[in-house]
């Protein structure tokens, strides 16, 4: 049996396994991105940032199908199956390129969206509503206070109504003596939340884009492998892997 054919078929089976593994990885990345954005959904009024993650999860589901089709097509020596395999890979490759482009475009829009929505949410802080819960989680997890810095609270209704103090979520983690008074700046997180949240969302989106690019490259080589096998099978009978 032609060593080249054996190698080509083995590579195609390996690619099928890679597609299964890629499906798991993409599903994790997509879920992580959505979870990260949902944790701070009150501050992201435009949901455009979820589009790349949704595409990633959709691609992950198709990846499992691709792996199954590729494995069966190779073992059954089906030209139709391999052709279908190639079409699916091309479609998913296009989807990944689209997700990458969307992510690249929307990275630059995060800052403008955050600036307005965060100011609106912080102004609604009253200690009881859903905005309060969102702000407290944000300030505690990111160890920040206010939109730009902790003095932003001086222009909020909360500050005036609570003896010129900021919420306790502005206090540093181990500052048990913190009362929220601005006279205790050493006990408060003084950095603003906008810059920290923007950086976190940028990092998450960049990580997702890097993963998408990596798997898109894998799809490209997968398409080349199928083309090589298909071309060789036109010159010779398609030989079974375990002949």
125, 138 contact by CB (below 8 A): no
Q: Which of residues 226 and 133 earns the better pLDDT score?
A: 133
26, 215 contact by CB (below 8 A): yes
pTM, 2 dp? 0.61
23, 63 contact by CB (below 8 A): yes
- pLDDT band, residue 225 (cuts 50/70/90): confident
**pLDDT in the model for residue 96:** 82
pLDDT digits (tens, 9 = 90+) for 75-116: 776 778 888 888 887 887 888 888 888 877 777 677 666 777
108's CB contacts (< 8 A; 6+ apart) are: none
DSSP state for residue 39 in the 8-state scheme: T
Rounded mean pLDDT, 43-69 = 74
Give Cα 33 distance to the centre of its chain.
Answer: 3
205's CB contacts (< 8 A; 6+ apart) are: 33, 49, 52, 103, 106, 107, 110
**pLDDT in the model for residue 202:** 83
DSSP state for residue 156 in the 8-state scheme: S
**Strand residues in the chain grouped as ranges (E):** none
- Percent residues over pLDDT 90 in the chain: 1
pLDDT digits (tens, 9 = 90+) for 153-202: 988 888 888 888 889 899 988 878 888 888 888 888 889 888 888 888 88
**In degrees to the nearest 10, what's the CA dihedral of 113, 118, 121, 124?**
-130
């Amino acid at each position: 049996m032609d060593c080249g054919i054996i190698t080509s078929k083995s590579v195609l089976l390996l690619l099928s396994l890679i597609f299964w593994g890629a499906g798991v990885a993409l599903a994790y990345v997509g879920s992580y991105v959505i979870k990260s954005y949902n944790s701070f959904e009150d501050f992201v009024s435009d949901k455009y940032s979820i589009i790349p993650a949704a595409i990633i999860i959709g691609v992950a589901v198709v990846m499992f199908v691709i792996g199954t089709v590729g494995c069966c097509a190779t073992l059954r020596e089906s030209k139709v199956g391999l052709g279908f395999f190639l079409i699916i890979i091309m479609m998913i490759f296009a989807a990944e390129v689209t997700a990458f482009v969307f992510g690249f475009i929307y990275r630059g829009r995060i800052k403008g969206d955050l600036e307005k929505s965060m100011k609106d949410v912080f102004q609604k802080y009253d200690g009881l509503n859903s905005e309060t819960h969102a702000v407290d989680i944000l300030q505690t997890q990111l160890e920040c206070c206010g939109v730009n810095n902790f003095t932003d609270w001086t222009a909020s209704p909360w500050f005036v109504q609570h003896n010129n103090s900021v919420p306790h979520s502005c206090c540093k983690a181990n500052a048990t003596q913190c009362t929220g008074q601005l006279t205790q700046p050493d006990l408060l997180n003084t950095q603003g939340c906008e810059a920290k949240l923007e950086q976190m969302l940028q990092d998450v989106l960049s990580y997702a884009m890097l993963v998408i690019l990596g798997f898109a490259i894998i799809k490209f080589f997968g398409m080349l492998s199928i083309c090589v096998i298909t071309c060789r099978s036109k010159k010779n009978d398609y030989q079974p892997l375990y002949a």
